[in-house]
Amino acid sequence: MCPAPVSDHSQRGFIIPIGGGEDRQKEMHIHSKFVELSGGASADIVVVPTASQLDSTGPDYNDIFRGLGAGKVEFLPITSREDCDNPEYAAMLDRATGIFMTGGNQLRLSTILGGTLVAQKIRRRNAAGIPVAGTSAGASIMSEHMVASGNGNSAPSGDGVSLAPGMGLTNAVIIDQHFTQRNRLGRLLSASSYNPFLIGLGVDEDTAAFIGPDDILEVVGSGTVTVVDAGTMTYSSMWQAGRNDALSLLGLKLDVLGEGCRYDLKNRHAYPPSDDKNGFCSLADLQDR
């Protein structure tokens, strides 16, 4: 599924995958930047807690965003595909200035939202300039191809990862979360080996990749974002590997980005932090260096 088309007079909104476990009590840099991008005091944020089975998840994020100064926060109590046809929920998304998808189970999220009016609205609102953030499961579903499952603490292998269709907010990357904490490099390498066109993003806990409309990614948070570029790969044994066979992957490029680092998804190049810590870096800024 490709991202929804952008009209001639607008630009795509930020896509913000968060690795889960984000700081919700102290400085809350990730949530603060999301509220700022959503309009601050004028924001109308809609939370989608469907991935979680906890009744407290939606209200908890409402309290967080209100506490950070968001003007209005609502959540969609979607627990079934039937709920996704509710015209009231569609209207809430139509007026949203920011959309946030919580953590939980990404297959629960994809099987309930996939192909529904709510999913279409989220895609179209992002194409119209509205930022969409997601943490943990909510991060995984953002890409066209979603990491559905796979073992951590293992080398890349023929059965190292299972993929499923995602929401398709981006078709340039494939996203994994809780990355360093659950040692998921092997499964991200397995995912990247399926199609070297995709850039693998492994996002740590309390860390986010703010992907702007110019396809420049900026890292915010206390951890790192690991970028796997399989486009430079010279050899892969994936096509002939058995289920338990270790993979040979030659020529991969890997970057590990801490807070403030940028990555140009179009040109596949990483940049160190700039001197300006207050704003996001544009493609023009990078080209001027």
* Enzyme catalytic residues: 136, 178, 205
b/e per residue, 171-184, with b = 16+ CB within 10 A?
Answer: ebbbbbbbbbebeb
**C-alpha span between 187 and 185 (Å, rounded):** 6
Query: What tokens were used for 49?
Result: 């807690």
Q: Residue 255: how many CB atoms within 10 A of its CB? A: 16
Q: How far is CA 14 from CA 134, 232, 271, in A?
A: 11, 27, 19
**Tokens 């993979």 -> residue:** 247
Residue 256 and residue 132: Cα distance in Å, rounded? 24
Rounded Cα gap, residues 231 and 83, in angstroms: 40
Q: Over 230-273, what HEC string results?
A: HHHCCEECHHHCCCCCECCEECCEEEEECCCCEEECCCCEEECC
Instruction: Using DSSP, state whether 174 is helix, strand or coil.
Output: strand
